[in-house]
Each structure stands twice: as structure tokens, then as C-alpha cells.
């Protein structure tokens, strides 16, 4: 079975234009995403983007050992299905280009859960928002491609699957306690997000990806949000 690590990214954000190229600890946001994921075992690592972003992103992709594939702007589901066919993969690790604190250790761990359980779709609950990935079978994406009609089901890769648990097997384990921090937000979607992530990098980055456990320890040290070891561990999406 061939696996692809696919990162969706384009430069047309309205809330934070060009956020994937914002400087961060001597690189760009998208470079930190790729550096976090290049060590995740897979047959292919690729950025999935649109026509308007392709020329700008291609040098960054190649510099970090990633392929680049162009697909539709808004129809993210079709973009991923094109990539599955182009690279002949049966399993996808899905990440996004605004998450420079994607955790490689948690990505490998959820891949193992996914393979062991035979799920169609898997992800951890309660990880810091922006540190996790989804693992999804290409066959499930192809079915969604055929059946999904609503706009949000085309723009968001796995929305159709979550809406049809009677059809798809979904695994949603709670994150390990050391990586459990439901209130931590480490994605880059707004200027405030960017400033917060810069602060984390300034304090924790020493040249290699920052694992989720270190982020959670940083939040706990400051008493921020629901990140204490005693915090409730119910099924909250994160």
C-alpha cells in the first residue's frame, strides 16, 4: 500500500494574505510544515496547491524535498483525489500549510492506529489545534468525490466522511495525556495567531520540529487553558 503525505496550501487567504510565506524562525511557515512532515514515512510527500500559487510555492517545495501538484482552487476534495491518482497512493496523511507546529510524532502514532484498526479516517482528539493530521483512505475520498454535493463538502476534505459515519469507519482516539491540550491554538490563520506562534518558536525552537508534548508543557507551565494534567479528557474535537 502506497502512502502520500499531502499538504494543502495556497496563497489566497483573506484573513492573513500569504500566510504560508510569513517569516518564522529563519524560514517560512510552509517550510516549517514541510520540515515537520518530511520525516513521516511515506512513498511521496507533496504540496497540493492551485494555479495562482504554483509558481511561488514550487521552489520552496523542491528545496524541502516535496513534490508539488496543482489542482482546483476551491474544490479541495477534487485536488486531493487528483493527487491520489497522480501519485498512485491508497492512503493519505493530510496536513495544511498554515500549521508550522504539525507534530511528526503524533502523525506517526495516528498512522499506526489507522493501520491497526482498518479505519477509513483517523485523527486524534484534544491535540493542540494545528498540531495534528488526518489519515484517510483514498477509496473513501474517491467515494466522497462521487457523492458529495454541498459546497462545504467540496471545500473541506473530510467533511462528507464525518457526516456519514454509517458509511465510513472513523477512529478518533484521545491524544496521549502529555500531548492533550484542548485549548491550545497553534495554527496560523490570523495576525494574532501568527504572533502567538512566533512566541512559541522564539522560546522552544532549536532547529528541529517542536513536538506537541513540548507545546503542551509550555502551556501548562503558564497555566494557560485546559492543559493541566488534571483537566477533563472527554471527547472534544481538537
Q: Residue 230 above 50 pLDDT?
A: no
Residue 105 falls inside a structural domain = yes
pLDDT tens digits, 100-129: 999 999 999 999 999 999 999 999 999 999
Query: Is residue 186 domain-resident?
Result: yes
| pLDDT surpassing 80 at residue 232 | no
Would you mind telling me the total number of residues written for the chain in this entry?
Answer: 238
Q: Model confidence over 177-211: pLDDT tens digits?
A: 999 998 899 999 999 999 999 999 999 999 999 99
Find all residues with CB under 8 Å of 2, minimum gap 6, and list them: 43, 44, 87, 88, 89, 90, 91
Phi and psi at 96, nearest 5°, equal -125, 155
Per-residue model confidence (pLDDT) at position 233? 38
Please indicate, yes or no, if residue 235 is contained in any of the structural domains. no
Query: Per the domain annotation, does 197 fall within a domain?
Result: yes
Q: Does the pLDDT value for residue 231 go beyond 60?
A: no
DSSP 223: T
Number of structural domains found in the chain: 1
Domain interval for residue 212: 3-221
User: What's the confidence (pLDDT) of residue 13?
Assistant: 78
Q: Residue 42: pLDDT above 50? A: yes
Q: Is residue 229 part of a domain?
A: no
- Whichever domain contains 60, its CATH number is 3.90.550.10
Q: What is the pLDDT of residues 144-159, one digit of tens each?
A: 999 999 999 999 999 9
Residue 233 lies in a domain: no
Burial class for 223, CB neighbours closer than 10 Å (0-12, 13-18, 19+): exposed
The predicted structure's pLDDT at residue 45:
98
**Residue 235 has what pLDDT?**
31
Q: Is 158 inside a domain boundary?
A: yes
Buried b (16+ CB within 10 A) or exposed e, 100-114: bbbbbbbbebbbebb
d(CA 219, CA 200): 10
What pLDDT is recorded for position 222?
Answer: 83
Question: How much is the pLDDT for 225?
Answer: 62
85 within 8 A of 184, measured Cβ to Cβ? no
User: Tell me, what's the pLDDT at 105?
Assistant: 97
Does the residue 228 lie in any domain? no
pLDDT digits (tens, 9 = 90+) for 51-93: 999 999 999 999 999 999 999 999 999 999 999 999 999 999 9
pLDDT, tens digit, for every residue of 18-37?
Answer: 999 999 999 999 999 999 99
Amino acid at each position: 500500500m502506497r502512502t502520500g503525505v499531502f499538504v494543502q496550501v495556497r496563497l489566497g487567504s483573506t484573513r492573513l494574505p500569504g500566510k504560508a510565506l510569513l517569516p518564522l524562525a529563519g524560514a517560512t511557515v510552509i517550510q516549517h510544515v514541510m520540515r515537520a512532515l518530511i520525516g513521516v514515512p511515506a512513498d511521496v510527500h507533496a504540496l497540493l496547491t492551485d494555479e495562482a500559487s504554483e509558481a511561488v510555492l514550487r521552489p520552496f517545495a523542491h528545496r524541502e524535498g516535496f513534490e508539488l501538484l496543482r489542482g482546483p482552487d476551491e474544490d479541495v476534495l477534487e485536488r486531493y483525489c487528483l493527487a491520489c491518482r497522480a501519485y498512485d497512493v491508497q492512503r493519505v496523511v493530510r496536513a495544511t500549510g498554515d500549521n508550522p507546529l504539525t507534530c511528526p510524532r503524533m502523525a506517526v502514532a495516528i498512522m499506526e492506529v489507522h493501520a491497526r484498526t482498518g479505519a477509513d479516517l483517523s485523527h486524534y482528539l484534544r491535540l493542540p489545534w494545528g498540531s495534528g493530521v488526518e489519515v484517510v483512505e483514498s477509496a473513501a475520498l474517491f467515494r466522497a468525490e462521487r457523492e458529495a454535493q454541498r459546497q462545504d463538502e467540496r471545500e473541506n476534505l473530510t467533511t462528507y466522511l464525518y457526516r456519514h459515519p454509517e458509511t465510513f469507519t472513523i477512529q478518533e482516539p484521545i491524544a496521549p495525556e502529555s500531548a492533550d491540550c484542548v485549548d491550545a491554538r497553534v495554527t496560523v490563520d490570523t495576525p494574532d495567531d501568527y504572533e502567538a506562534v512566533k512566541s512559541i518558536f522564539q522560546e522552544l525552537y532549536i532547529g528541529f520540529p517542536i513536538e506537541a508534548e513540548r507545546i503542551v508543557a509550555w502551556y501548562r507551565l503558564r497555566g494557560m487553558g485546559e492543559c493541566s494534567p488534571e483537566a477533563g479528557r472527554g471527547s472534544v474535537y481538537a
